[in-house]
Amino acid sequence: MEKPREQAMCLLPFRNHTFIILHLILQGMVYTEYTWEILGYCQELDFSLCYLLLPYLLLVVNLIFFTLSCVTDPGTITKAKESLFLQVYEFDEVMFPKNARCSTCDLRKPARSKHCSVCNRCVHRFDHHCVWVNNCIGAWNARYFLTYLLTLTASAATMAIVTTVFLVRLVVLSDLHLETYVDDLGQSQVIDTVFLIQYLFLTFPRIVFLLGFVLVLSVLLGGFLCFALYLAATNQTTNEWCRGDRAWCQHCPQGAGAPSVEPRVHRNIHSHGLWSNLREIFLPAAAHYERKKK
């Protein structure tokens, strides 16, 4: 019986550090370009030093919480902790049945838990597996991941703002927006926005490319951050949000001849107000202790 199980385990995805290395390389390249290209020019234009150093402060904080997200146990469910985790959350009997067992770990599944096929473990309050930190996001490291995502978004947005202000100030000080050029018909034309962007790209290609990259990154990270904050404010996980719309279908009558049974729709029974929900994310131990006392 063990041999087929071991063979099946070999087919599962496995954790590796590829995306962590890629993450650090990309972050290093962006900050190298910022330091090499933007910092010197901005100092010549008398930018505030505090303003210019803000991305580095955000980088330090970001790397701290990135490391914590990578190395912190997300809430691995073991035989020794099984009974403890079973008491934390109420079973809704729709998405999380009370007597369900994990077929891989052979443990009872606490409410809001899920088995991660990449890490090969059941995780308490499972949110998702993040390849960028090479770890599951669960009850114990969700606060670190949220802060990591916040500082990463802020650093990208700050770089985009500094770079944009630098280019705008450069255009204003050099009166580029007031210049004219002769078109193909020999007529004098005032420089428009498209022509100005083309000129800046030819003059400062690396700076304009950096600006485009951090702008796109800011939008993508900002969207993901808003989604993560919404889930935190409503006390949902990514796993629950994805499964919520289809969880009730498992309890719907099958076929025309099935008995008329009212389907049980999944409801979020874990939300207890904004501050209580956020406290559960950022102070999970205190929240779990209070739930055990009830």
pLDDT number for residue 11: 46
pLDDT number for residue 260: 46
Asked if residue 180 has pLDDT above 50, the reply is: yes
Q: Which of 130, 136, 249, 252 is catalytic?
A: 130
For the beta carbon of residue 65, count every other beta carbon within 10 angstroms: 22
Q: How far apart are CA 236 and CA 280, in angstroms?
A: 11
pLDDT number for residue 294: 55
Q: How far apart are CA 207 and CA 154, in angstroms?
A: 19
pLDDT number for residue 269: 86
pLDDT number for residue 267: 77
What number of helices (H) and strands (E) belong to the chain?
A: 11, 6
Sign of the C-alpha dihedral computed for residues 225, 231, 232 and 238 taken in this order: negative
Angle of helix 142-173 relative to helix 205-233, nearest 10 degrees, comes to 140
Provide the β-strand partners of residue 294: none
> Exposed, middle or buried by CB within 10 Å (0-12, 13-18, 19+), for 183?
exposed
Q: How far apart are CA 64 and CA 147, in angstroms?
A: 10
Asked if residue 291 has pLDDT above 80, the reply is: no
Q: pLDDT for 228-267, tens place per residue?
A: 999 999 999 999 999 876 554 454 544 444 454 455 566 7
Asked if residue 136 has pLDDT above 70, the reply is: yes
Helix (H) or strand (E) holding 65: helix 49-71
Q: How far apart are CA 67 and CA 243, in angstroms?
A: 29
Half-sphere exposure of 88 (CA within 13 A, CB side): 22
Q: pLDDT for 122-132, tens place per residue?
A: 999 999 999 99
pLDDT number for residue 172: 85
Q: Residue 224: which region, alpha, beta or left (left: phi > 0; alpha: psi -120 to 50)?
A: alpha
Average pLDDT over residues 202-222: 95
Per-residue pLDDT band at 7 (split at 50, 70, 90): very low
Average pLDDT over residues 124-153: 96
Q: How far apart are CA 268 and CA 266, in angstroms?
A: 7
Beta strands in 118-246 (DSSP E): 121-123, 128-130, 135-137, 180-182, 188-190
pLDDT number for residue 177: 66
Asked if residue 207 has pLDDT above 50, the reply is: yes
DSSP character at residue 22: H
Work out the mean pLDDT of the chain and round it to a whole number: 85
Per-residue pLDDT band at 4 (split at 50, 70, 90): very low
pLDDT number for residue 183: 65
| Contact by Cβ (8 Å): 13, 117 | yes
Per-residue pLDDT band at 92 (split at 50, 70, 90): confident
Asked if residue 152 has pLDDT above 60, the reply is: yes
Q: Assess whether 130 carries a catalytic annotation.
A: yes
Instruction: Say what percent of the chain tops pLDDT 90.
Output: 59
pLDDT number for residue 244: 74
Average pLDDT over residues 154-173: 93
Q: Which of 72, 94, 98, 75 is nearest to 86 (CA)?
A: 98
